[in-house]
Amino acid sequence: MDSVLLSSFYLAPVQYFSKLFRAEKVCIEIHDIYRKQSYRNRCLIAGANGVLPLSIPIEKTEAEKCEMKDIRISDHGNWRHLHWNALVSAYNSTPFFEYYCDDFRQFYEKKYTYLVDFNEDLRVLICRLLDIHPLVTYTERYIETVPDGMMDFRETIHPKPSRQKPDPNFKAIPYYQVFSEKYGFLENLSIVDLLFNMGNESRLYL
């Protein structure tokens, strides 16, 4: 793929990072209208009881429609503590959690104002850990007409099956997961599931 257009996601799924890995250029849309129940503020991990969604609370806005770049994170519900505890509980027994945990812990000890800043700083970290180096730019305004040679995945990748769109360029191939004997392979979870289970082999998987 020459160029891809993506939204900014929280601990995005494996499918998302497969685009970052394969594309020569990546443009991240930050002027799209924020939509609830999307990966913008939600990720899916593998817990002891199956798939576990983690959602970042956001502040309510006066505007009916608010651009992603303007979405502020809420401190409601002590979510940082809850998310980090969930990640520890889910992945503490994986082969590589101890190796990477300090890199991620700092994000749950620091306060971010804007969701897109939190998402993107995490993405940069994960790309570094995966040893992938996409050329990333951000939109200056919402892209309505996608240029020739650019593939638009802004709404293709979604946590709800009913909202997903076909992606012939992605196939979920099983890899080692700690709870696979109990639940079978859980596909297309957050990239941290791949990273904590497979470590430096994650790049080969992508």
Q: In whole angstroms, what is the distance from residue 73 CA to residue 111 CA?
A: 9
**88-120 confidence digits (pLDDT tens):** 999 999 999 999 999 999 999 999 999 999 999
Identity of the amino acid at 53: P
State the total domains in the chain: 1
**178-206 confidence digits (pLDDT tens):** 988 889 999 999 999 999 999 999 999 99
**21-52 confidence digits (pLDDT tens):** 999 999 999 999 998 889 999 999 999 899 99
- Burial of 4-14, coded b for 16+ CB within 10 Å and e otherwise, reads bbbbbbbbbbb
Domain span at residue 103 reads 3-205
Question: What's the pTM value of the predicted model, to 2 decimals?
Answer: 0.95
Q: Which helix (H) or strand (E) holds 125?
A: helix 115-130
Q: In whole angstroms, what is the distance from residue 127 CA to residue 134 CA?
A: 8
Interhelix angle 191-198/79-91, rounded to 10 degrees, is 40
Going by C-alpha positions, the residue among 102, 132, 120 that lies closest to residue 205 is 132
pLDDT in the model for residue 160: 87
